[in-house]
Amino acid sequence: MQKPKSAAISVLLIAGLLAAGSDTASAMGGPAMASVTDSEEDSQVVEESITIGPVAPGETTAPNGKVTPNGKAATAAICVAVNRVDYPHISSTSSYLAVQAHGNWDKGTCKATLADVTTQIDRKNPIGLFQAVGTQGKGRLAPNPKGLTSGGAGRVTAHYRCNGKAAAPFRAWTKIDMVGIADTQNATTTPATSPIKCG
């Protein structure tokens, strides 16, 4: 006896969600796939000018980064900063198979001297959703006018230890929260890579 189509679809969805594990899944599809192969070096970089504006009406951001309703804002500002993130790529420094991505920022026309930078790697799961994997790269960084590949203290590194060699597309994003300025947190996301052999 053939199973009804709806039952078969339900089984497929449940199996996909189980495969996703406890990681956070995102329905955000992102741009079309980019033709990027595995790399032992820093990969292509997405650099984006982002408009930094006041937070939404009724909310403010304190210097510690916490958003509170109807409070008094820190120094409100409107300016343009630069977000940077590179494509996820095979790490050349790990002693095991891993994917990394890096992020940093530059102040552009903003007056901030520090920002809390977060970079995250997402992996596409069997049901087509991107899910956060690995360890976020986080740090409080000064603006870096030299670009992303300057390394060292000038950037943060997100890291995902591979669990096998099953191929899947990856993407990465970076967002910044400038210290002492009431600002929205805008993320810059890479296009999806071509499948990387990192389960």
Kindly report the CATH number assigned to the domain that includes residue 54.
2.60.40
Instruction: Please give the pLDDT value at position 57.
Output: 52
In a domain, 6, yes or no: no
In a domain, 10, yes or no: no
Tokens of 60: 């403010």
Q: Which domain holds residue 53?
A: 24-197
Residue 152 gets the label, from left (phi > 0), alpha (psi -120 to 50) or beta, of: left
Q: pLDDT of 157-171, one tens digit each?
A: 999 999 999 999 999
Give percent above pLDDT 70 in the chain: 64
Question: CA 25 → CA 14, 67, 158, 174, 190, distances in Å?
Answer: 14, 24, 17, 17, 17
In a domain, 164, yes or no: yes
In a domain, 16, yes or no: no
Question: What is the tally of structural domains in the chain?
Answer: 1
Predicted TM-score (pTM) of this structure:
0.70
Contact 105, 150 (CB under 8 A): no
* Closest by CA position to 117, among listed 80, 85, 91: 85
